[in-house]
Amino acid sequence: MSTAFLRPGYTPPMPALRVRLNRLGGAAGTASMEAIVDTGADMTIAPEWMLEQLGAIKAIETALVTQWGERHPVTLYLVDIEINGLRLPGVYIAGDENAADVILGRNVLNKLPLFLDGPEEQAEVLDKTAAKRLRARRG
């Protein structure tokens, strides 16, 4: 299932995927939501209030460095993430008190066979058959 790029407030439109954040190993989770696909971000980020409301496990106090080189304190939480029916267990997400959106960084994106179709403004996690076929073309 593909997800349309986000349009409101983003020029050009931003790639997005439908995600659900779940408590580690548990059934409790957030509602399904659109998350920004950011291949330049090292870490996945979510609003801290969302992770606290979920009851996510606080793991590490640390800092992220913005693209402008500024250090920003964050807490890393451990959660399970569902993306298009695929569950990624035990993923670190930075809880940011200033965040308004969930941003999928490379710590999650590098685990996915992801297809970004800019001209059609669609993002999709590929199934195993499609991913295998595309990987074979590289050979």
pLDDT in tens, 75-133: 999 999 999 888 999 999 999 998 899 999 999 999 999 999 999 999 999 988 988 99
For each of the domains in the chain, give its residue range(s) and CATH number, in order of start: 2-138 (2.40.70.10)
Say yes or no to pLDDT of 137 above 90.
no
| Residue 3: predicted pLDDT | 81
| Residue 40: predicted pLDDT | 93
The reported pTM is 0.90
Percentage of residues of the chain with pLDDT beyond 90:
68
Say yes or no to pLDDT of 139 above 70.
no
State the DSSP string of the chain: -EEEPB-TT-SSPBPEEEEEEEETTSS-BPPPEEEEE-TT-SS-EEEHHHHHHHTPEEEEEEEEE-TTS-EEEEEEEEEEEEETTEEEEEEEEEEETT--S-EE-HHHHTTS-EEEETTTTEEEEPPHHHHHHHHHHH-
Section 40-45 average pLDDT: 95
